[in-house]
């Protein structure tokens, strides 16, 4: 009796489940999803990124210019002078002297803004302190 030996070779590209599509993962990076863009898709993605970057740049330039021009026009229209606080003077008294027909709270707020004062420092003055005040 003679026995013939046969060899069976299984290729790794043969799908075990015929309903499952065959995908070669040998040239994909680990963790990649297998989505590939065509040349047209890559061009479209690149164009969209460039357009978005240009829109952001133009928006920043426009809004930056508007806020800068508003800030310069607000400070350009205010004429100021400097006073030295005397003993016994208060911020309220200074505000009434500077703008007697205006609400002293608004004048105090303008003085605080011109001098960069906030919180308690906006309401308290000390003898010898120099303050920039809006001119009458």
What is each CA distance from 82 to 48, 108, 114, 118, 135, in whole angstroms? 54, 14, 11, 19, 9
Give the range of the structural domain holding residue 62, as residue numbers without chain letter.
39-77
Q: Do 73 and 83 share a domain, yes or no? A: no
Q: Do 63 and 93 share a domain, yes or no? A: no
Query: Does residue 83 sit within a domain?
Result: yes
Whether 19 shows a pLDDT value over 70: the answer reads no
Residue 103: per-residue pLDDT: 92
Q: What's the pLDDT band for 49 if we cut at 50, 70, 90?
A: very high
Whether 34 shows a pLDDT value over 60: the answer reads yes
Residue 117: per-residue pLDDT: 85
Domain count, the chain: 2
Q: What's the pLDDT band for 22 if we cut at 50, 70, 90?
A: low
């Amino acid at each position: 009796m003679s026995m013939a030996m046969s060899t069976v070779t299984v290729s790794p590209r043969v799908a075990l489940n015929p309903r499952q599509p065959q995908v070669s993962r040998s040239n994909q990076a680990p963790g990649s999803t297998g989505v590939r863009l065509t040349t047209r898709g890559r061009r479209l993605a690149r164009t969209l990124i460039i357009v978005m970057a240009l829109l952001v740049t133009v928006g920043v330039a426009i809004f930056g210019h508007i806020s800068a021009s508003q800030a310069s026009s607000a400070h350009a229209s205010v004429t100021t002078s400097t006073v030295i606080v005397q003993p016994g003077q208060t911020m309220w008294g200074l505000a009434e002297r500077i703008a007697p027909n205006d609400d002293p709270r608004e004048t105090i707020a303008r003085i605080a803004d011109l001098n960069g004062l906030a919180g308690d420092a906006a309401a308290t003055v000390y003898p010898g302190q120099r303050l920039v005040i809006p001119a009458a």
